[in-house]
Chain A
Amino acid sequence: MKDDSATPVEATASFGYGLDEDHQVLRDSIREFARNVVAPGAIERDIKGEFPREVVQQLGEMGYQGICVPEEHGGAGMDALASAIVVEELSYADAAVGVINSVQNSLVIDPVMRFASEEQKKAWLPKMASGQWLNAFSLSEAGSGSDAGAMKCRAELKGGEWVINGTKLWVTNGAEADVYLLFVRTENAERRNASCLLVPRQTPGLTVGKHEDKLGIRASSTVELIFENAQVSNTNLIGKRGEGLKIALVAIDGGRLGIAAQALGIAQACLDKAASYALQRKQFGKLLAEFQAIQWKVADMAVRIAASRALLYKGCWLKDKAKHSLHIPAMAKVFAAETASLCANHAIQVFGGMGYCREAEVERYLRDAKITEIYEGTSEMQRMTIGKSLVENPGRIVATEV
């Protein structure tokens, strides 16, 4: 591969993350779209905090908004690896577009495919897959982020309708979404107290509240949702009553791969920008690329990116093989997220003063990278997940067949 972001991912090996032809074709086409269509407006959208409506519409038309939806429900019928490739390539151009796509697919479509009834899938998935519906996921509240079980927003079943009251926070895609995958408290019990509802945007009693003014991913909206006697039909209940949190956790598990892919895309963009700049900029009569101080940064970025990609692709492979793993997606997420921040810092340093200005884009990469260490499970939550599951099952250290 000869383009400027060549990464060693061709299918040359029996083991590891070589891509087969289908995935290579997918990568090439989404890469072309991301670099030609998504990238050009990224700086301006970041400054204005402007949602990329046209880009998202085109993503829907091309089938990327429902990449894993089976063909019978109008989707592309591809796998988790394909989904990760799309998020990586979009995030390379604009991490805000990456997360819009990731939320659409891994946080909403994925749990709907797993937990919704046949009837619900038939009604909803074609709209999601075509991009007619933009999806959002609503779990967090002011008092419950990582600790989702402590939620206060409630719904009561009255005559076949759920009546929802309360406030949700940090809803990505929230201002523009057509539907919300909402998690609300429906039971009084200490455990198994939440349920999962699909709530249309037009539901009376639902209003979009405060828009957050964020450090990064500014082109994606993050809003407050206010429910005041908002009613949705019981036919919008996904899965069983009281088992919503299980659905949320499964969604977030899958979402980890999406965010790892987002982080990887940012990191790769940092490396490409920094390395290309180092080949043009001269100081003391030499190219930056000739200084070991710069070479070292480039090498360290490349190493962390290769390691992140290996973890991410293994996570995707496990998911596609239906081999459950809690720790590999967590590893992929925490490692890739911290890699993105490291690479962004390195890239700014290589650019020097130029890197501190918006035009070079690398300062945006650092702001965007930060969120990957926080949402869909902070780095601390990932380490808890890995550490706890390890001490419960130390035997997995030596079970390295997979």
Chain B
Amino acid sequence: MDFSLPEELVGFRDLTRAFAAEQVAPHARKWDAEKWIPDELFSRAGQIGLMGVTTPEAYGGSGQGLLAMTVVVEELARWCGATALAIAAHNGLACGHINIAGNEAQKQKYLSKLSTGEWIGSWCLSEPHCGSDAAAMTTRAEKTSAGWVINGQKFWVTNGKRAQVFVVLAKTKPEPGSRTISAILVERGTKGMEIGEPEDKMGMRGSDTVPVSFEHCEVPSANLCGELHNGYVDALKVLDRGRVSIGALSVGLARGCLEEAVRYAAERKSFGVSLHEHQAIQFKLADMETQIEAARLLVRQAACTHDSGRPDKELSSIAKLFASEMASRVGWDAIQIFGGAGYTKDVCVERLTRDNKLCEIGEGSSEVQRMLIARAQFARRQAAVA
């Protein structure tokens, strides 16, 4: 049992923390208003290894595990959920899928560009009519003599506006079932692919979310990423890991809210004393910190099960569910502590709280997580009961 962060991660964390304070914090409000994070931010992030956190060093990455990913994501999210989401999706979903399933040539070609931030990656799973039940997708890829022809529409594609490479999940067998889907790499500018306008979102506004449609979009055979018909299986592995990152994102957002609220509760006076002298406020702060601590422990613990090669999927769901719902509670409490000021955009807590709502929805909604957790709990006991 060990609850200390390995020394090299403390260094990596401090580097990310400084980057977030200097490069992200001053601009986060503007990015939220303008619905766009400038591309330069990602090349700068690439310079310190944030664009290939879990990508092996052989392909220009930092060669770290999921634990490192949670540390990076928390530090970025403390100031800006959108930045953390864009970088987490790039690392975890796009690079993550290629890392898990891609062949040597694909890794050489794509990961080396993605690791530096020269290229941004996107991952296309959801569709207009299927989010949580992704296996019900209708986008299909048909084999021709020249390669693959993709038809269909993808929705909620994070980073789609700026990405150069897309990992597209598509049906390669018409019948239902989980082994009927494959992952295919599509480069930006491929004929037949159209990238739509970004959604106007409640939060995470600096991170672009676009629809991507494919109409007779043809790519070479070599672009199949992973085994044929095994794409959904790989996608689930990607999602299991992604959940842990989303949990870390919520921890970072909640931490931002707590840091701001603690500062304000010391400065602001009411009835002649600092806000934090009132038990009503002190108890809120205590509950906020307790929940953040517990969430961080779950997130890091879950990450380590992946790093040890024995991923605990249930714990990943538990971490994501607890952290994302925790951060909403903490966010609303922080707004309450700020009172009227917290309701304005001069204070970042309303933005961080808006950002967090996505964490209760994306990469498996809270409802999906509860379903998975309950299923695991029942499965474990089934034998004892039978």
Contact = CB atoms under 8 A, between A and B. Distances in A.
Given A303-B373, A394-B263, A15 B378 contact: no
B283 A383 contact: yes
B220 to A, nearest CB: 40
What is the size category of the interface that chain A forms with chain B?
A: 35 or more
Nearest to B325: A303
A11 to B, nearest CB: 8
Contact of B259 (A18, A385, A394): A394
Contact of B301 (A16, A271, A276, A387): A16
A12 B285 contact: no
B3 A317 contact: yes
Nearest to B70: A15
Contacts of A294: 374
A299 interface: yes
B202 interface: no
A15 B304 contact: yes
Contacts of A23: 1
Given A16-B1, A272-B381, A391-B262, A383 B304 contact: no
Interface in A1-47: 2-4, 6, 8, 11-20, 23
Nearest to B371: A295
B369 A299 contact: yes
A296 B366 CA distance: 10
Contacts of A307: 294-295, 297-298, 318, 322
Interface residues of B, number: 61
Contacts of B321: 299, 303
A179 interface: no
A387 B1 contact: no
A289 B378 contact: yes
A397 B279 contact: no
Contacts of A95: none
Nearest to A271: B377
B141 to A, nearest CB: 34
A72 B262 CA distance: 47
A98 B279 CA distance: 32
Contacts of A304: 322
Contact of A331 (B255, B293, B305): B293
Nearest to A391: B276
Contacts of B301: 13, 15-17, 310
Contacts of B375: 295
A8 B314 contact: yes
A13 B370 CA distance: 24
A390 B373 contact: no
B318 A278 contact: no
A14 B308 contact: yes
B300 A387 contact: no
Contacts of B307: 13-14
B1 A296 contact: no
B382 interface: yes
Contact of A317 (B1, B255, B304, B369): B1
A311 interface: yes
Interface string A382-397: 1111111011001001
A3 B297 contact: no
B285 A390 contact: yes
Interface centre among A294, A314, A318, A380 (most CB of B within 10 A): A314
Interface in B301-345: 301, 303-305, 307-308, 310, 312, 314-315, 318, 321-322
Given A15-B300, A307-B297, A386-B290, A398 B259 contact: yes
A325 to B, nearest CB: 11
B293 A311 contact: yes
B161 to A, nearest CB: 33
A92 to B, nearest CB: 15
Contacts of B259: 394, 397-398
A306 interface: yes
A377 to B, nearest CB: 13
Contact of B381 (A15, A275, A328, A390): A275
A328 B289 CA distance: 10
A164 to B, nearest CB: 36
B282 interface: yes
Given A278-B378, A299-B377, A3 B4 contact: no
A327 interface: yes
B318 A387 contact: no
Interface in B334-386: 369-371, 373-375, 377-378, 380-385
Contacts of A313: 1, 3
B130 interface: no
Given A299-B377, A394-B259, A16 B290 contact: no
A386 B286 contact: yes
B10 A401 contact: yes
B14 to A, nearest CB: 10
A391 B285 contact: yes
Given A15-B300, A276-B384, A307-B294, A81 B1 contact: yes
Given A400-B5, A401-B5, A383 B282 contact: yes
B381 A4 contact: yes
A81 B4 CA distance: 16
B376 to A, nearest CB: 8
Contact of B3 (A3, A314, A391): A314
B40 interface: no
Given A15-B300, A15-B301, A280 B377 contact: no
A306 B295 CA distance: 10
B3 A12 contact: no
A387 B286 contact: yes
A157 interface: no
B20 to A, nearest CB: 11
Nearest first, the 10 closest Cβ-Cβ pairs linking A and B are: A16-B301, A13-B304, A387-B282, A295-B374, A310-B297, A386-B286, A4-B384, A299-B370, A387-B286, A307-B294
Given A15-B304, A306-B298, A402-B3, 18 more contacts: A2-B384, A6-B380, A13-B305, A15-B301, A15-B303, A19-B1, A275-B381, A278-B378, A298-B378, A303-B318, A303-B373, A306-B318, A314-B297, A387-B283, A391-B276, A394-B266, A400-B296, A401-B4
